[in-house]
Amino acid sequence: MVLKPQTPIPPKPLISVIVPTLDEERVLAPTLQCARQPGVQEIIVVDGGSTDATCALAQAGADRIMSARRGRAAQMNAGAAVARGDILLFLHADTLVPAGFAQAVITACATAEVIGGRFDVNLTASSPLIQLVGVLMNWRSRLTGIATGDQAIFIRREVFQRLGGYRDIPLMEDIDLSRRMKQTGRIACLRERVTTSARRWQQDGAVRTILLMWSLRLLYFLGASPARLARVYANTR
């Protein structure tokens, strides 16, 4: 009997989790602990010049800690440049991923036309208004295919490289990448939820922060430069 050669089974893709940080000692440890799940090849922390214990805390939970020029876009691009995973997932330092998040990402990307995606989000707050913000974020993102960094954006590494990564802009880098992803292929809107701190809304006031963020996004979509919007954002904080 002649045995037919077996077709090799391709290995499952693995994920590189990239976490940009700047003075995040209060929130970083649980974020890294939650991200350490099967399917994650590595966790890379990219620090933008912290003066607190962020980097010391990262030693216990990250596979690689590196420094980069301050700014989320620059930091995330630096992490992506050294990442080895097939899929890149960009995680804010105050965002907790759910159990099974890596398998959910791998399953979504098993569909050839899917080039990346994002998660639904829960905001950690007891205020009904802030909870409503999370609901509206999920609804808007599912309707438009555009995500924010709070939603743990993930993307195939080769697609990220082909798109040139994040544009080096001081604000709206997540919106910009989402728009370009949407033009490139299918976006997976996962219903699994990451849990993101509502500290921004609690610190500056929920209504004020909602109006500010909606105004900034509207101005961006109308053509305002990210540099100008970043100055407005900084002056209102």
The full DSSP string for the chain is -PPPPPPPPPPPP-EEEEEEESS-TTTHHHHHHHH--TTEEEEEEEES--SSSHHHHHHHH-SEEEE--SSHHHHHHHHHHH--SSEEEE--TTEEPPTTHHHHHHHHHTSTTEEEEEEEEEEE-S-HHHHHHHHHHHHHHHHH----GGG--EEEHHHHHHTTSS---SS-HHHHHHHHHHHHSEEEEEEEEEEEE-HHHHHH-HHHHHHHHHHHHHHHHTT--HHHHHHHHHHT-
pLDDT digits (tens, 9 = 90+) for 175-212: 999 999 999 999 999 999 999 987 776 666 666 666 66
* Low-confidence residues in the chain, pLDDT < 70: 1-11, 126, 201-226, 228-237
pLDDT computed for residue 74 by the predictor: 97
Report the pLDDT value the prediction gives residue 7, as an integer from 0 to 100.
Answer: 46
Q: Is 184 exposed, middle or buried (0-12, 13-18, 19+ CB in 10 A)?
A: middle
pLDDT at residue 198 in the model: 76
Entry pTM: 0.86
> What pLDDT score was predicted for residue 132?
80
Paired sense of beta strands 114-124 and 154-156, if any = antiparallel
Class of domain 15-127+137-198: alpha beta
The pLDDT assigned to 8 comes to 46
pLDDT recorded at residue 233: 62
- State residue 126's pLDDT score: 65
Write down the pLDDT at residue 16: 98
The pLDDT value recorded for residue 181 is 97
pLDDT value of position 193: 96
Q: Under a CB-based contact definition with an 8 Å cutoff, are residues 168 and 73 in contact?
A: yes
How many CA atoms lie within 13 Å of 34's alpha carbon, on the beta-carbon side?
Answer: 21
pLDDT for 9 equals: 46
Tokens of 112: 């050839």
